[in-house]
Amino acid sequence: MSDPKTMAALLSPSLLHRPAVIGGAHDWTWHEIHAAARELADRLHPDTPVCNLCATRAGFLITALAALRRGCLQLLPPSGGLADLVALLGGTPGAMVVVDDETLLQPVSGARTGGLVYLPQVPRHLPSPRELAWTPDARQTCVRLYTSGSTGAPQPHAKTWGQLTQGARALAARLDTEVHGGLAALRALVCSVPPQHMFGFESSVMLPLATGLAVLDRKPLLPLDVRTAVEQCGGPTAWIATPLHLRALARAGETLPDCRLALVSTMPLAATLAAQVEALVSAPVVEIFGSTETGVIATRRTATQASWQPIGDVRLEVGADGTQARGTHFPSPHTLADRVEIGGDGRFTLLGRHADMVKIGGRRASLSGLNLLLQDLPGLEDGVFYLPAEDAPTERLVLIHAGHLDRAAAERWLRERIDVVFLPRSWLQVERLPRDANGKLPRAALEALHAAQRTTGAAAPAACSDHHFRVAASHPSLPGHFPGRPVVPGVLILDHVLAGVRERTGRDVARLPRVKFASPLLPEESARVQFTQREGSLSFRVSALRDGVHQAIAEGSVVLAPLAEASP
């Protein structure tokens, strides 16, 4: 396939006619994307920082190119959280926030910033390739990304256009060898992560710019949505996701026809999970090792490889201050936060992060390694090991987990795999873990959860008895949902949840503030609803019995109607 090395090459007539963003209200060509970006650039003030909050792939890509054309530094917040956004804008007064949905401006309406609502539209007149011709300065600092805050406050890191393009070309060269038929065989990229994060920016923005690949204008999260998105592309695809997305797919047993590659990052991926997903999608699962500071450094096929292979000209060296990475697409040398073992062929194995090493009872372990083990814990919906920052000699780990978990069974499973001193002393059940859109857990959010538990003295809430149900294959709602491949409609699942609430409390439901579906429920499957009661509300978890194991279907919470309003 062509390997354009500059923006000028991407703007060549042979590439401009190719699709750039598909599956939205309009299928955009690269010619239309660049023409729209040139028009939007005229609406931006030179040298004014641009905070790109566009939710659609087309809106984000056009805004990114417009900011680059205008010489505006592009700010990409570490998450969609209001606190992170306010902190970012507070440190950059006068920034222009660009959105493609007016409601996205409301949270920052009081900040010292300007706002621009941009609804992507194809220009009436498409300039000629000569009129669009333009080559950015490779030394120009064009993007400022932020770390996730999983180990502290989010930290900014600036990127030049040259670094971003070199990193994208190196990643493209590696993936070209992983995909059957090469990247040229792909119809589009399906991306389940937001473009504001380094992984999402590299994969859904820079990779298409470096290769001319199209990206689907959606961000599918649930397994059935991902399958639908892959099918919508109408040809071979690559799926860009996190281990959380892969785990949901594996639990649902969903397949992805015509997916040629799953590209994964943002947190460690277990080899067993990678192998499960490879069996489902019949394609390699490739994991990225990198950081916001460096971008992608290395990759591996996690199901079959324990070591990492550096991309491009990246090489690792052991220095006095730790392991240093050198490469042309990031400031070099960069000292890694991880302990590694380097092989003679340049490949390396991760031994754990310096910052997450915990010492309890004279024993040491990697917190990330312990959390990686949790991906295989039977019955665990989501969980994380957390070490309170108290520096007490008797301090022990806390397991914060979502949904119901059989503690005795989980503890037996853990005892067989980790040193007893690392078994959690406290088990904190929450409705859901405070993960951001990339699946990361900010340290501050975990500290707040733990502090709230200690302040209230809350133990695990009392559980109500379970509600069991089964939807017959003859149910009248199934033929239309969906023809040839029936699944139980979500509203029917919620009907059983509400019935279980009334059966156990004698009260109606005032509202459903939160519902999240993890995978589809099939006709004739044995399902159960587990309730956890709190004052005035209930949280619930729906699961289906599959091969002797209950797999998550949905979870959420309900607010009970006051007793005076309850039905007789």
395 contacts: CB under 8 Å, gap ≥ 6: 360, 387, 388
For 371-377, the CB contacts below 8 A with 24+ separation are: 371/267, 371/268, 372/268, 372/269, 372/270, 373/270, 373/414, 373/417, 373/418, 375/243, 375/247, 375/269, 375/270, 375/272, 375/273, 376/270, 376/272, 376/273, 377/410, 377/413, 377/414
**Once rounded to an integer, what is the mean pLDDT over residues 436-450?**
80
Sign of the alpha-carbon torsion through 318, 319, 324, 326 = negative
273-277, long-range: CB within 8 Å, 24+ apart, which pairs? 273/243, 273/246, 273/247, 273/375, 273/376, 274/246, 274/301, 274/302, 274/303, 275/303, 276/250, 277/246, 277/249, 277/250
Q: pLDDT-derived band of residue 538, with 50, 70 and 90 as boundaries?
A: confident
Q: Are residues 404 and 515 in the same domain?
A: no
User: Which pLDDT band holds residue 443 (cuts at 50, 70, 90)?
Assistant: confident
Helix, strand, coil shares, percent, the chain, to 5: 30, 25, 40
Contact 242, 226 (CB under 8 A): no
510-520 average pLDDT score: 86
Helix or strand (DSSP H, E) at 161: helix 161-178
Weakest mean pLDDT among 29-38, 166-175, 251-260, 385-394: 385-394
- pLDDT score for 340: 87
Q: Is residue 331 part of a domain?
A: no
> CA angle, corner 136, sides to 134 and 139, nearest 5?
160
**Terminal-residue alpha carbon distance, the chain:** 69
Model pLDDT, residue 112:
61
Of the candidates 456, 477, 493, which is a domain's last residue?
A: 456
Do 429 and 475 belong to one domain? Answer: no
| Residue 80 included in any domain | yes
Indicate if 126 and 55 belong to the same structural domain.
yes
Q: Using a pLDDT cut of 70, give the percent of the chain over it.
A: 87
CATH of residue 18: 3.40.50.980
| Nearest-5° Cα angle at 89, 446 to 192 | 55
Q: How many residues does the chain have?
A: 568
Whether the predicted pLDDT of 262 surpasses 90: yes
Q: Which residue has the tokens 């859901």?
A: 432
Verify that 80 and 101 share a domain, yes or no: yes
How much is the pLDDT for 101? 83
Contact 272, 376 (CB under 8 A): yes
Whole-number Å distance between alpha carbons of 145 and 161: 13
Q: What is the pLDDT of residue 354?
A: 65
Q: Which domain holds residue 56?
A: 1-136
The answer to whether residue 5 scores a pLDDT higher than 60 is no
How far apart are alpha carbons 129 and 389 in whole angstroms?
Answer: 58
Query: Is 327 in contact with 294 (CB distance < 8 Å)?
Result: yes
Which of 136, 170, 194 terminates a domain? The answer is 136
Q: Does 60 share its domain with 2? A: yes
Mean pLDDT calculated for residue range 121-127: 90
Q: Does the pLDDT value for residue 546 go beyond 50?
A: yes
Whether the bond between 333 and the residue before it is cis, its omega within 30 degrees of 0, is yes
Same domain for 376 and 436, yes or no, is yes
Give the domain CATH number at 552: 3.10.129.10
Structural domain includes residue 236? no
Confidence at residue 8, expressed as pLDDT on a 0 to 100 scale = 46
pLDDT confidence of residue 312: 94
- Which amino acid is it at 453? Q
pLDDT at 331: 92
pLDDT band at 390 (very low <50, low <70, confident <90, very high): low
pTM for the full predicted model: 0.74
**For position 80, what pLDDT does the model report?**
63
Position 154 in a domain: no
pLDDT at 335 exceeding the cut of 50: yes
pLDDT value at position 465?
61
Spatial neighbors of 384 by CB under 8 A, at least 6 apart, are: 371, 374, 399, 400, 401, 433, 441, 446
Which residue is listed with tokens 């310096």?
354
* pLDDT score at 567: 37
Confirm whether 153 is domain-assigned: no
Q: Which of 273, 351, 262, 337 has its CA nearest to residue 308?
A: 351
C-alpha distance from residue 52 to each of 81, 116, 199, 209, 294 (Å): 14, 10, 16, 17, 21
CATH number assigned to the domain comprising residue 367:
3.30.300.30
Output the pLDDT for position 158.
92
Each residue's pLDDT tens digit, 84-114? 777 777 777 788 889 988 877 766 655 566 7
Last residue of a domain, one of 136, 165, 198: 136
- Residue 220 forms part of a structural domain: no
Q: Which of 279-293, 434-448, 518-532 has the highest mean pLDDT?
A: 279-293
| Confidence class for position 360, pLDDT limits 50, 70, 90 | confident
User: Alpha helix (H) ranges present in 13-56?
Assistant: 13-16, 30-41
Q: Which of 224-238, 284-298, 352-366 has the lowest mean pLDDT?
A: 352-366
Same domain, 425 and 511: no
Do residues 486 and 439 both lie within one domain? Answer: no
At 279, the pLDDT band (50, 70, 90 cuts) reads: very high
Tokens of 507: 């009260």
Verify that 128 and 11 share a domain, yes or no.
Answer: yes
pLDDT score recorded for residue 535? 59
Question: Which of 304 and 519 is assigned the larger pLDDT?
Answer: 304
My answer on whether 418 and 471 are in the same domain is: no
Q: Which of 513, 480, 515 is nearest to 496 (CA)?
A: 515
Which pLDDT value is given to residue 236? 96
Cβ pair 57, 208 in contact under 8 A: no
Average pLDDT over residues 502-512: 80
Look at residue 493 in the predicted model and tell me its pLDDT.
92
Cα–Cα distance list, 37 to 32, 123, 127 (Å): 8, 10, 12
CB 143 within 8 A of CB 201: yes
494-501 average pLDDT score:
87
Per-chain mean pLDDT for the chain: 84
In a domain, 556, yes or no: yes
Predicted confidence at residue 416, as pLDDT, reads: 85
Domain total of the chain: 3
Q: Indicate if 502 and 531 belong to the same structural domain.
A: yes
3-state secondary structure of 17: coil
The helix (H) or strand (E) run that includes residue 223 is helix 223-232
Pairing of strands 74-76, 363-366: unpaired
Judgement on whether residues 375 and 431 belong to the same structural domain of the protein: yes
Note if the bond before 482 is cis, omega within 30 degrees: yes
Does any domain span residue 204? no
User: Each residue of 133-157: pLDDT tens digit?
Assistant: 888 888 989 999 888 766 666 788 9
**pLDDT band, residue 439 (cuts 50/70/90):** confident
The per-residue pLDDT for range 66-75, each reduced to its tens digit, is 999 999 999 9
